[in-house]
Structure 1
Amino acid sequence: MFKLRTYIQKLGKALMGPLSIIVASGLLLGIVSILQNPTLVGESFAHATVVQTFVGGVQAVVGTMFGLLPILFAISVAIGMSREDKEIAAFSVVIAFILFHVVINYLLQLKGITAESTTVDQLMSDGLSQIKAVETSNMYETLLGTFTYRMGVFGGIIAGLWTAMIHNRYHTKQLPTALSFFSGNRFVPIMIVVTIPFVSIASFLIWPFVNTAINALGGLIGKSGVIGTFLYGFSERLLIPTGLHHVLNQLIRFTPIGGTAMIDGETVSGALSIFNAELAAPVKDMDILRNATRFLTQGTHPFMVFGLPAACYAMYKTSYLAQRPKVKGMLIAAAATCFLTGITEPIEFAFIFISPILWVFHAFMAGLSFMLMNLFGVAVGNAGGGFIDLAIFGILQGTYTRWYLVVALGLVYAVAYYFVFKYVIEKFDVKTPGRSNDDVLEDEEEESTENDLGKLILQGLGGADNIQEIDNCISRLRLVLKDTALIDEKLLKKTGSMGIVKINDTNLQVVYGGQVEYATRSLKMEIKRN
C-alpha cells in the first residue's frame, strides 16, 4: 500500500512538469488578449495592423504549445519516474510516443478508419445522426501528422510510464561480449522499439471503453453543477498534505474529466485547455468560458489572495510577544508569496498537521469559494491562483469576468480566516509559528551561504548515506531515504522548512515554498562535495 501511494505521489509530481510552460503560455495569452480589448486600449489601438499581427503570432505559438501537451506529458513522466540517467529516458520516450501512435494509426487503417472517413459530413452521409457523427468524429485526431485515437495527455502518460519501466529495468543491462555495444543505455531505445507495439495493440483494443468511461465521468461532473464544484475545491485542499492534489488538478485541467467543448471547429478537452482556447477565440462564448473557469483560479483567489494572508496575520497576532520579531519575516514572506503567486503550502503546513479543525475549515472554505464563484458566474481562469492571475485574467480583461465579485468575497474571506484562526489558535493552544517554546526559533545566524544551507539540510536528513533519491516540485523537496527515522526535524526547520511530511519509512517531503529550488540545488551540491 505504501509503495502504491509513493508511486502515485511520484507520478503526481511528474505530471507537474508541463504546467510551468502552460501557465507561462497562458499568461502571455492573457496579456495579448488585453491588447484586443477596445474598452481598455481603445478601438484604433486594438484593431491596428501591428497589434493584430503580434497577437496572431502569440496565439499561434501558444496554440502550438497546447497542441504539444501529450508529448510534453510523455517526456515529463518518463523523466520523473526514471531513477537514473533521466536524459536517456527523455530520448527514449520520444521514440515510444511516436511509435505508439504510428502503430495505432496502422491498426485503424486496417479497419478502414481514416481521417477522411471520420469527418462529421462523411459519417452523416453513412447514415449516422448529427450528434452521433460528432461523438464518433471526436474519438480521433491527427497528432504530429499521425491520425490516431484522441487520447490527449493519457497517451503521453502511457508512453511515459512504459518508457520509465523499460528504462529502470534495462538501462544497466549487460549483453554478451559480441553485442556489448548495445548494452546499458543503448539497450533502452531498442527495447522500446520492440515492446511499444504491444502497448499500442492493447491500447487500441481498450481505449474505446476507457474513452467512454472518461466522457461519462466528465459528463457526470458537468451535470453535478455547484455540488461538483464544491467537492472539487474541498477535496483538492484536503489532499494537499499527500501531494495527490497534483493528480486531481491535472486530470481536471487537461482531460475530458474537466469538460469538453467545441471551439472554432476543434474539440478541446480539459478545463485549462478550454479556457485558453476560448480566450484566443475571435468571439468568446461566455457559457463555455464560465463552465471551464469554475474549476480554475477563480475558486482559489478568495482564499489565496485574501484568506490565507489574513491567517498569517492571525498567527502573528497570536504568537508570543518575545517570538514575534523572529516569526514576522517568515510569515510576511509566506503571505506575500501566497498573495502574488498562489503558492500556499508554506502557510498551510504551518497548521494542517497540528490543527485538524483549521485544516477542515480551510478545505471547506476552499470548496465554498469554488461553489460561490460558479454560482456568481465569474469567469477568471488560469492555474496560478495569486493576484497576478486575478489581475491579468480578471481585472484587466474587463467586467465580463465579474472579477469584482472575487474581490468582494475575498474581503469576507479575509475577515473570516483572521477571526476563525485567531479563535482556534487561542482556544486550543495550537502551536503555530511563534507559539512554541522549543529552540527551533532561536536567534538565527547571519544569512547562510548556499554551502551552509546544503550542509544543514544534509545533516538534518541523516547524512549522505541515508539519501537515495532527491527531487522537488513547486514547493517541496521530495526525498527517498533509507530510513526517515534518522532525520532531525528541528535542524530541518532551522533551514527554513515550513513543514515535514513522512509518507512512509523511506519517503519524505520537506516544504520550502518558493525557496525549494535553492534548497534542492544546495543539497545536491553538498552531496557532490562529500
Structure 2
Amino acid sequence: MKEKLMKSAAVFSKAIIQPVMFMAVTGIILSVCAILKLDMMPSVTKDIGNFVFNILSGGMIGQLSSIFCVGIAAALAKPKYKTDAAILGIITYLLFLYANHSWLDITGRLAETGEQGLYGTGQGMVFGIQVTDMGVFLGISLGVLVGWLVNKFGDIKLHRYLAPYSGTKTVYIFIVFITILFAMGITYVWPVVNSLVESVVRTTTTAGSVGFFFYGFLNRLLLPLGLHHFLWMPLFYTPLGGTAEIAGQVYNGAFNIWLAELGNASQITTMHPSIGYLSNFGSISLPIGIAFAFWKTSRPENRKKVAALLIPTVTTAFLAGVTEPLEFLFLFLSPVLWLAHSVVYGLSLFLTNLVGINIQFDTGINMIINSLAFPIRLGHQYLIPIMFIVTGVLEYFVFKTLIVKLNIPTLGRENLEDTAEESTAEVIEIQTQDERFEPQIQNIVEGLGGVDNILDIINCYTRLRIDVEDESKVNLDILKEKVKASGIVDKGKHIQIIIGVGVEEEHEKVEAYMEYLRAKS
C-alpha cells in the first residue's frame, strides 16, 4: 500500500510540474510588459505592453485549467499514448463544459449575472460557457482521469471487425459517459467542496504572517522528498491561495492574483494578502548566508577551494532560483542543519510579510524587474535591501553557530582531496566503451541498472525523476560517487537525481544514450 501511494505521489508530482514550468516564463514576460506600461513610458511602449499583457493574461493565465488538463493527461500517459492522451484531454475538457452547462440549465440552476458578474455565485465563464467554477481543479481532475483511463484501457483489443474502435478509441467511448456523469454530479458536490476550501483559506489568511512561516517551513522540509510541489502549486494556482476580483475579473491562486495586480496596478489600492507566499528570499539572501557560514567555518587552507565551489551555487540560486546544488551539500550531511534551514526559511517569509513587502520575487532577476515595474506605494520594495541583509545575516549566524557547536563536518572542515587524477582515469575508462557519450550520461544509465531497468524518466526544474522496474538493480554507489549531482534521492523504485540548471539538456542526453543502447542491442 505504501509503495502504491509513493508511486502515485511521484507520478502526479512529475505530471503537475510540466505545465507549471511554463508559468515562470509567462511571469517574466508579464513583468517586462508591466515595465513597458509605466506612466513614464512613451505611448507606443505602453500600447505594446498592454497588447502583449492582455494576450498572455487571457490566453495563458485565464486558461490554466485547460492547459493543466492537457498537460497532465499527456504527462501521465505511457509514451506510446501521449499524443492520444493530449487529444483526449482537450476533448474531455470540452465535453465537461457542455455537459455541466446543460445540466445546470435543465435543472434551472444557472446563476444570474449581477453587478459583479458571476462572482460569488459558484459559477463562472470558461470558453464562453457558464459552468460550475472549479478553477484549475477541473483541469487537474480531468487530466488525471484521462491519463489513468488511457493507461488502464489503452491496450484493449476488439473483434477484428471492430478493430478501428479498439485501444484509445474505446477509451474515448468510456470518457464520453464518465465525463457526462462527472459533470452532472459535480454540480451537487462542488458547492460543498468549495465551502470547505473557503474555510481553509479563511483560516490561513487570518493566521497572517504566522501562516506564511508555516508555509515556508514546510516548503523546505518537503524538498528532500520532491513533494514540495504539492504545497506551493495549489497555493499559487488554485483558490487555496486566495480569490480576488481585479478589474472586473476573478482570479484564483496567489500567482495569478499577483499577475492581475501587476497589470492593473493603477486600479488597486491594497495588495491581496496571498502575495505573502510569493515574496521569498529563499534563493536570494539565504544561500549567501549559508555560503558565508561554510566559508567562515572551513579551514583557512581550504577557503579558496571552498569559495570556488560555493560561488557558482550561490550565483545559480540568485539568478535562476535553483537552490538544490547548495542545499544538498548539507541536507544528508546534517538533518539538524536542514531543520534549522527550514525554520529560517519560514522566518524569512514571516518577517518579509510582517514588514509589508508586497511584490513577487523568488530570484534576483524578477526581484529587480518587479521592483521597477510595480508602484512603491503598493509593493514597499524599498524595504527589500533591509530584509535582504536581515535574512542573510540570520541564516549566516544560525549555520555558523550550529556548525561550530555541533562540530558538523561541512565543506572545507575536512581535507579536500584532489580527485583530478581519479576523474581523468574514469573518463578514459568509460570513453573506451563509447566516445560519443560523456561519462556522466553513461554513469547515470549504469547506476540506474541499465536501460532495460528504466521505465520512465522525466525532469522538473532541477531534477531527473526516474521510475525503475527493479530497485535491487540500482547501484547507488555509482550514482553518488560517479555522477556529478547535488544529491540522490532514493525512494525505492523512484529515484531522483538533483542536477540543477541544465537538467533538461541532461535529460535529453540520457534519452539519446538509451535510444542508442536499444538500437545497439
Common topology (TM > 0.5): yes
- CA offset digits 1:62-85 (Å, max 9, x no partner): 212111100111112112222332
Q: 1:56 and 2:35 equivalent?
A: no
The verdict on how the C-alpha distance between 1:310 and 1:181 changes in structure 2, with shifts beyond 3 A counting, is same
Q: 1:360 and 2:342 equivalent?
A: no
Preserved CA contact (<8 Å) 1:251 1:257: yes
1:458 corresponds to: 445
| Residue 386 of structure 2, aligned match among 386, 404, 408 | 408
Q: Which amino acid aligns with 2:53?
A: Q
Q: Which amino acid aligns with 2:94?
A: I
Please give the alpha-carbon distance, in whole angstroms, between the structure 1 residues aligned to 2:238 and 2:216: 17
- CA offset digits 1:196-220 (Å, max 9, x no partner): 2122233222111111111121122
The verdict on how the C-alpha distance between 1:326 and 1:496 changes in structure 2, with shifts beyond 3 A counting, is farther
Q: 1:295 and 2:277 equivalent?
A: yes
1:339 corresponds to: 318
Q: Which amino acid aligns with 2:385?
A: V
Deviating more after overlay: 362-371 vs 17-26:
17-26
2:330 corresponds to: 351
* Superposition deviation, residue 327 in structure 1: 5.8
Q: Which amino acid aligns with 1:58?
A: V
Please give the alpha-carbon distance, in whole angstroms, between the structure 2 residues aligned to 1:483 and 1:345: 27
- CA offset digits 1:160-214 (Å, max 9, x no partner): 0110111001212111111112222333333322332122233222111111111
Q: Which amino acid aligns with 1:356?
A: P
Deviating more after overlay: 341-350 vs 326-335:
326-335
Please give the alpha-carbon distance, in whole angstroms, between the structure 1 residues aligned to 2:84 and 2:412: 47
Deviating more after overlay: 72-81 vs 29-38:
29-38
Q: Which amino acid aligns with 2:120?
A: E
The verdict on how the C-alpha distance between 1:408 and 1:450 changes in structure 2, with shifts beyond 3 A counting, is farther
Structure 1: tracts of 5 or more residues without a match: 124-132
Please give the alpha-carbon distance, in whole angstroms, between the structure 2 residues aligned to 1:434 and 1:518: 30
1:470 corresponds to: 457
Please give the alpha-carbon distance, in whole angstroms, between the structure 2 residues aligned to 1:201 and 1:462: 47
Please give the alpha-carbon distance, in whole angstroms, between the structure 2 residues aligned to 1:437 and 1:466: 37
SS in structure 1 opposite 2:285?
helix
Please give the alpha-carbon distance, in whole angstroms, between the structure 2 residues aligned to 1:232 and 1:518: 31
SS in structure 2 opposite 1:189?
helix
Deviating more after overlay: 224-233 vs 81-90:
81-90
Q: Which amino acid aligns with 1:292?
A: S
* Superposition deviation, residue 399 in structure 1: 3.1
TM-score, length basis structure 2: 0.89
| Residue 65 of structure 2, aligned match among 63, 70, 79 | 70
1:35 corresponds to: 36
The verdict on how the C-alpha distance between 1:321 and 1:528 changes in structure 2, with shifts beyond 3 A counting, is farther
| Residue 284 of structure 2, aligned match among 278, 298, 305 | 305
- CA offset digits 1:85-129 (Å, max 9, x no partner): 222211111111111121111110012233xx5212599xxxxxx
SS in structure 2 opposite 1:26?
helix
| Residue 198 of structure 1, aligned match among 135, 158, 181 | 181
2:85 corresponds to: 89
Q: 1:387 and 2:364 equivalent?
A: yes
| Residue 376 of structure 1, aligned match among 355, 359, 370 | 355
Please give the alpha-carbon distance, in whole angstroms, between the structure 1 residues aligned to 2:252 and 2:73: 23
Please give the alpha-carbon distance, in whole angstroms, between the structure 2 residues aligned to 1:442 and 1:277: 52
SS in structure 2 opposite 1:261?
strand
Preserved CA contact (<8 Å) 1:26 1:62: no
Please give the alpha-carbon distance, in whole angstroms, between the structure 2 residues aligned to 1:118 and 1:335: 54
In the TM superposition, what are the counterparts of 1:8-47 in structure 2 within 5 Å? 8-38=9-39, 42=40, 46=41
* Superposition deviation, residue 460 in structure 1: 1.7
TM-score, length basis structure 1: 0.88
Please give the alpha-carbon distance, in whole angstroms, between the structure 1 residues aligned to 2:419 and 2:384: 37
Please give the alpha-carbon distance, in whole angstroms, between the structure 1 residues aligned to 2:284 and 2:219: 17
Q: Which amino acid aligns with 2:48?
A: F
- CA offset digits 1:250-274 (Å, max 9, x no partner): 1111111111111112221111111
SS in structure 2 opposite 1:502?
strand
Preserved CA contact (<8 Å) 2:348 2:391: no
Please give the alpha-carbon distance, in whole angstroms, between the structure 2 residues aligned to 1:83 and 1:440: 44
* Superposition deviation, residue 323 in structure 1: 6.8
Q: Which amino acid aligns with 1:306?
A: S
Preserved CA contact (<8 Å) 1:9 1:242: no
Q: Which amino acid aligns with 1:81?
A: L
Q: 1:163 and 2:159 equivalent?
A: no
Please give the alpha-carbon distance, in whole angstroms, between the structure 1 residues aligned to 2:476 and 2:238: 39
Preserved CA contact (<8 Å) 1:379 1:394: no
Q: Which amino acid aligns with 1:19?
A: V
- CA offset digits 1:131-158 (Å, max 9, x no partner): xx9532xx11110122101111000011
* Superposition deviation, residue 315 in structure 1: 2.9
| Residue 146 of structure 1, aligned match among 105, 111, 129 | 129
The verdict on how the C-alpha distance between 1:464 and 1:327 changes in structure 2, with shifts beyond 3 A counting, is farther
Please give the alpha-carbon distance, in whole angstroms, between the structure 2 residues aligned to 1:420 and 1:462: 40
In the TM superposition, what are the counterparts of 1:93-492 in structure 2 within 5 Å? 93-114=89-110, 117-120=111-114, 135-136=120-121, 139-281=122-264, 283-289=266-272, 291-296=273-278, 298=279, 300-301=280-281, 303-319=282-298, 329-381=308-360, 385-400=362-377, 401-433=379-411, 443=421, 444-445=423-424, 450-492=437-479
Please give the alpha-carbon distance, in whole angstroms, between the structure 1 residues aligned to 2:473 and 2:407: 29
* Superposition deviation, residue 439 in structure 1: 8.3
SS in structure 2 opposite 1:529?
helix
* Superposition deviation, residue 286 in structure 1: 4.0
- CA offset digits 1:487-513 (Å, max 9, x no partner): 33343243211111112x211111111
* Superposition deviation, residue 313 in structure 1: 3.8
* Superposition deviation, residue 514 in structure 1: 0.9
Q: Which amino acid aligns with 1:110?
A: I
Q: Which amino acid aligns with 2:67?
A: L
Preserved CA contact (<8 Å) 1:453 1:522: no
Instruction: Tell me the percent identity.
Output: 30
Q: Which amino acid aligns with 2:277?
A: F
SS in structure 1 opposite 2:18?
coil
Please give the alpha-carbon distance, in whole angstroms, between the structure 1 residues aligned to 2:146 and 2:212: 35
SS in structure 2 opposite 1:381?
coil
The verdict on how the C-alpha distance between 1:163 and 1:308 changes in structure 2, with shifts beyond 3 A counting, is same
SS in structure 1 opposite 2:271?
helix
1:7 corresponds to: 8
Please give the alpha-carbon distance, in whole angstroms, between the structure 2 residues aligned to 1:429 and 1:487: 33
* Superposition deviation, residue 437 in structure 1: 7.1
The verdict on how the C-alpha distance between 1:228 and 1:209 changes in structure 2, with shifts beyond 3 A counting, is same
- CA offset digits 1:371-419 (Å, max 9, x no partner): 111111111115xx11011101124535332223222122133233334
The verdict on how the C-alpha distance between 1:268 and 1:320 changes in structure 2, with shifts beyond 3 A counting, is same
The verdict on how the C-alpha distance between 1:211 and 1:398 changes in structure 2, with shifts beyond 3 A counting, is closer
* Superposition deviation, residue 346 in structure 1: 1.7
Preserved CA contact (<8 Å) 1:440 1:490: no
- CA offset digits 1:2-23 (Å, max 9, x no partner): 3213312322332222223222
The verdict on how the C-alpha distance between 1:80 and 1:216 changes in structure 2, with shifts beyond 3 A counting, is same
SS in structure 2 opposite 1:380?
coil
Structure 2: tracts of 5 or more residues without a match: none
